[in-house]
């Protein structure tokens, strides 16, 4: 494929990773660096036929007037957002894609070709993830943590000079996308939330069950791990040179429909993005309580919604679409909820063609404004 790699890519390593590069990788306990993340990304995206440009977009040290510099870091170095932009037809609507927790933009590698036929596709690594800068995570509240992601996305938008765009977010990325649209609705033409986190609230019944579970020894241990901000990435780092094998086994078991080549490249990419310096991953306990219930549920913000929204869920998605149904009752903007067959939480990897149909349907007024038909593509279910 044809790609253009911005010269800034070589400068994304950061001082820590540059020190690592002095030592042969075989001598490192954690054999990764930001340079290796970008290299593994390039190998994974070699499977994509559409030409693209990769760049590091400078977002400064923090938004003007913010109480938090990304974020109370001892370093005044500018931060950057790793960004890939795919070639498209002139005049195509812009689609910005935001990955979920534990992922990076390369997870959408099976979707770029199909979507680039209709959109100017831009995919990013959120601050603290993938090939983006990884500042020390010093947020200590839900509000600060949300600002970490929302404000960095807004500074990225300014740097890219985007006035308006379609915003797609998956899982935790859906939570961030929704919170961004609530704060900056003037820049979002359409919101697409794919298996979004944060819509369901903890009911009294669920709260009682969680209290009972915490009283068990297993619940007490898991609750302590949650409150101590233990993440799966810490396990991968702790395994050192055995970490890649664990990730490879997970990838092979989780994404069974991938070819051997795709699975190998994705596994390599996942390892390097997860084993790098902890940063954005430490958001978890500030956004969600034990049991993965949002501390600031999006359900309660439904009356404030100002952007037309489409929800997309796999039929076997562990994220419950009923939270979106509840939210829709209080929304004053168009809202659709679409379920995709033969797919779970990673619907965009598990049933790519149906996922693409769902996205195109959600964006029909931008890509086919002359068509009057609102009929849902075959196989998709509206709920």
| pLDDT digits 0-9 by tens, 250-298 | 999 999 999 999 999 999 999 999 999 999 999 999 999 877 788 999 9
pLDDT at 28: 59
pLDDT at 293: 81
Of 21-25, 117-121, 317-321, highest mean pLDDT: 117-121
DSSP state of 198: S
372 pLDDT tier (thresholds 50, 70, 90): low
Residue ranges with strand state E in the chain: 3-5, 52-60, 79-86, 94-98, 120-124, 165-170, 188-194, 288-289, 293-294, 309-314, 335-340, 381-382
**Is the predicted pLDDT of residue 113 greater than 60, yes or no?**
yes
By mean pLDDT, which of 171-175, 202-206, 283-287, 291-295 is the weakest? 202-206
Tell the burial category of 27 from Cβ atoms under 10 Å away from its Cβ (0-12, 13-18, 19+).
Answer: exposed
pLDDT at 4: 37
Whole-number mean pLDDT of the chain? 87
**Which residues span the domain enclosing 86?**
3-382
pLDDT at 156: 97
Tell the burial category of 159 from Cβ atoms under 10 Å away from its Cβ (0-12, 13-18, 19+).
Answer: middle
pLDDT at 65: 61
Number of domains in the chain: 1
Encoded tokens for 103: 């992922």
**Is the predicted pLDDT of residue 202 greater than 70, yes or no?**
no
**Is the predicted pLDDT of residue 370 greater than 90, yes or no?**
no
pLDDT at 20: 38
User: pTM for this structure?
Assistant: 0.88
**268 and 244 Cβ atoms separated by less than 8 Å:** yes
Q: What are phi and psi of 81, to 5 degrees?
A: -110, 120
| 216-238 mean pLDDT | 78
- Coil, strand or helix at 355: helix
369 pLDDT tier (thresholds 50, 70, 90): confident
What is the Cα–Cα distance from 349 to 259, expressed in whole angstroms? 12
pLDDT at 78: 80
**Is the predicted pLDDT of residue 127 greater than 50, yes or no?**
yes
| 21-34 mean pLDDT | 58
Tens of pLDDT, residues 52-71? 999 999 998 766 666 555 55
Higher pLDDT, 40 or 204: 40
Cα 339 from chain centre: 20
pLDDT at 374: 78
Of 79-83, 134-138, 218-222, 365-369, highest mean pLDDT: 79-83
**Is the predicted pLDDT of residue 151 greater than 60, yes or no?**
yes
Question: What H or E segment, with its residue span, contains residue 15?
Answer: helix 14-20
79-86 sheet: strands from edge to edge: 3-5, 52-60, 79-86, 120-124, 94-98, 165-170, 188-194, 309-314, 335-340, 381-382
**Is the predicted pLDDT of residue 77 greater than 90, yes or no?**
no
pLDDT at 17: 41
pLDDT at 226: 65
Q: Which residues pair with 122 in a beta bridge?
A: 85, 96
Cα 169 from chain centre: 6
Residue written as token pair 């070699």: 46
Encoded tokens for 149: 């992601």
Residue 141's CATH number: 3.40.50.1820
| 231-238 mean pLDDT | 90
**278 and 230 Cβ atoms separated by less than 8 Å:** no
By mean pLDDT, which of 24-33, 114-123, 163-172 is the weakest? 24-33
């Amino acid at each position: 494929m044809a790609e253009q790699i911005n010269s800034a890519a070589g400068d994304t390593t950061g001082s820590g990773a540059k020190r690592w590069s002095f030592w042969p990788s075989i001598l490192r306990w954690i054999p990764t660096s930001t340079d290796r993340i970008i290299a593994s990304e390039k190998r994974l995206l070699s499977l994509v036929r559409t030409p693209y440009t990769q760049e590091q977009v400078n977002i400064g040290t923090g938004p003007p007037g913010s109480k938090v510099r990304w974020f109370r870091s001892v370093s005044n170095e500018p931060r950057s957002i790793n960004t890939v932009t795919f070639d498209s037809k002139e005049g195509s609507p812009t689609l910005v894609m935001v990955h979920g927790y534990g992922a990076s933009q390369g997870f959408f590698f099976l979707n770029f070709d199909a979507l680039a036929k209709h959109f100017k596709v831009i995919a990013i690594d959120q601050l603290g993830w993938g090939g983006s800068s990884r500042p020390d995570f010093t947020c200590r509240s839900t509000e600060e943590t949300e600002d970490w992601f929302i404000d960095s996305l807004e500074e990225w938008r300014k740097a890219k000079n985007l006035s308006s765009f379609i915003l797609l977010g998956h899982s935790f990325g859906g939570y961030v996308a929704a919170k961004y649209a609530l704060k900056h609705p003037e820049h979002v033409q359409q919101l697409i939330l794919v298996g979004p986190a944060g819509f369901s609230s903890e009911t009294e019944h669920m709260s009682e069950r969680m209290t009972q579970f915490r009283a068990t020894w297993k619940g007490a241990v898991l609750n302590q791990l949650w409150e101590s901000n233990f993440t799966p990435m810490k396990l991968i780092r702790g395994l050192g040179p055995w970490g890649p094998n664990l990730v490879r086994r997970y990838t092979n078991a989780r994404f069974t429909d991938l070819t051997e080549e795709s699975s190998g490249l994705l596994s390599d990419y996942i390892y390097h993005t997860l084993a790098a310096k902890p940063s954005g991953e430490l958001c978890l306990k500030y956004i969600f309580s034990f049991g993965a219930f949002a501390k600031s549920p999006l359900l309660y913000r439904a009356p404030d919604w100002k952007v037309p929204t489409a929800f997309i869920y796999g039929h076997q998605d562990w994220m419950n679409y009923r939270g979106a149904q509840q939210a829709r009752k209080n929304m004053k903007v168009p809202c659709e909820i679409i379920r995709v067959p033969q797919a779970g939480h990673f619907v965009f990897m598990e049933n790519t063609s149906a996922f693409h149909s769902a996205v195109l349907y959600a964006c029909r007024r931008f890509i086919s404004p002359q068509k009057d038909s609102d009929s849902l593509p075959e196989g998709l279910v509206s709920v």
